[in-house]
Structure 1
Amino acid sequence: MEQLLAKLRELWEMHRKEVIIGIISIIFGGYYWYQHQGMNTNLATNNAVNQTSQVKSTASSATPAGKVTVDIKGAVNKPGVYTLPKTSRVQEAVTAAGGQTSQADMRQVNLAKELMDQQVVYIPVQGEQLSGVTTASATGLDGSTDSSGSQPKINLNQATKDDLLKISGIGDKKADKIIEYRQSHGQFKTIDELKNVDGFGEKTVAKLKEQLAV
């Protein structure tokens, strides 16, 4: 036993420096590993919290189910963006915006027309001539009357799928593609922009122009 202890003491004297350095290295290595793992855990937690917050923010900005959000402009007392029940009419939008002003020309407005989500409702002033882009005109949300007085044109920015299907040359799939493009890119600026929609070439758009408005 004494020989074993003597041998251990001898080894300790010979390798004491290396042992101490090894112990210190283990301590510092363990401390670094612990700190690094803690940072990774906190980072993962923060990322999860941020992603959850972004999802909640996106959900809160979307129009609730059973509702429509419209932007009412023109001759109303409180123009702005309003969220209303899905079955609301232009009349409800005007009321929500504080009613029409004394300068409003309500003869050009179809108050009975049903609202659509992301729609612009414009109330003209007296003496103002409405164009096809006006969404609350007497011809309705689906378009404006052709200057020749013939078949009303369909407004690409306000037309429902049923409205689009009334157009000669547009079937079920093409109507869906127009609506998908509108949802992804916003309102059409010109009728020629329809060429950007899959399935609508230059010749097709040329044939449809007489039936469309923006």
Structure 2
Amino acid sequence: MALRERVPLWVQSRCGLEPRSLAALAVVLVVAAIFAAQHFWAGRPDQVRPPERVREGQAAVKPGPAPGPPPPAPTGPSGPAGPGARIVVDVSGKVRQPGVRRLPAGSRVADALRASGGVKDGANTAGLNRARLLIDGEQVVVGAPAPPSAPAVPGTVGGPAVGGAIAAGPITLSTATVEQLETLPGVGPVLAQHIVDYRTQHGGFRSIGELREVNGIGDRRFADIQPLVRP
């Protein structure tokens, strides 16, 4: 009624406003005013805080994982038989500077002779294989006198002895080379090397019976070798 009284009479008469219609109109106007105020508030500009300046020379560093322990040292090929490994050989006989020599692994007999000052003039090197690979603890004897000839085996005239070996004088186990040991009956390169290894480990042979302790020499083979060797 109060709103109706405020509306001029000519508006009331022209529009034909009833009290109920006037109340509905008032509600519509209030709702419209609320929406207008909400739209105005939502459209106002927001204040944005400017970013902080980064000092010159500083950079954001993302922390990474902590460093782990260093990798283990390589093994296997780079061990005693790998690059840089050395062997020890004993060079004796008719060389200018006999003695123990330390040589790189993979050296040959010729390298050992060169490290010992070379072979003396007039030395007999016919049975010396200069191209043979050396092994650790080996002894190289230069110009060793040839063993004296032994009597031929009964039933043969200067021919092969029992087992196919040429009859020869006693071979000195403590100084014989691998090539000389291979001339014994039933002794090949592997068994000859076993004899040299045993000699190196035990400082030579004190008796012929020690051959029984070498790997690969049984009673039968020892019986064939015994007459042909000496300590």
Please tell me the TM-score bracket, short chain as reference.
0.3 to 0.5
Output the TM-score relative to the length of structure 1: 0.44
Task: Judging by fraction of residues, say which structure has more helix.
Answer: 1
Output the TM-score relative to the length of structure 2: 0.41
Rg larger in structure: 2
